[in-house]
Amino acid sequence: MPFQLSAKSRERLKGVHPDLRRVVERAIELTTVDFVVTQGNRTQDEQDELYAQGRTKPGKKVTWTRNSRHIGGFAVDVAPWVCGGIEWDDDGRIGVWPRIAEAFKAAAAELGVPIKWGGDWLKTKDRPHFELPADRYPA
């Protein structure tokens, strides 16, 4: 069951580093769970705006940093797409994240592109987040 990136997902890959874009494009071919791209490149202004949310502006905190790898297009966020909608599966009951991460890691290995998955972070897990490592891809 090969999946395809939606037009919206493709649109959100604009400005993302070509190596990471290739990983996403290959991951959608390998994955056993469909996904959509929810975020790609951000400007510093956009990141500052997000950082203000839940701090100096109303809303829920959505980021903990002003130095996101999204700035300059070194990171993407994705979301599992299940039964016609986004399924965050925060409690891991459905088990969609490991399958998506597996597809990304397989795609990256195949293409020889190093990636890091936010779901592997020890403290605050960020499962939607995949990024190119800063030591290999400096901002």
74, 79, 129, 132: residue in contact with Zn ion (rule CB under 5 A): 129
- Cα 107 to chain centroid distance, Å, stands at 14
Q: Is 26 in the site for Zn ion (CB under 5 A)?
A: no
Q: Using CB under 5 A, which residues numbered 35 to 54 contact Zn ion? A: none
Helix axis angle, 96-111 to 18-30, nearest 10°? 120
Looking at beta carbons only, is 26 or 42 nearer to Zn ion? Answer: 42
Q: Is 120 helix (H, G, I), strand (E, B) or coil?
A: helix
Are the beta carbons of 66 and 42 closer than 8 angstroms? no
Write the interaction track for Zn ion spanning residues 74-103; mark x where CB under 5 A is met and - where it is not. Answer: -x-x--------------------------
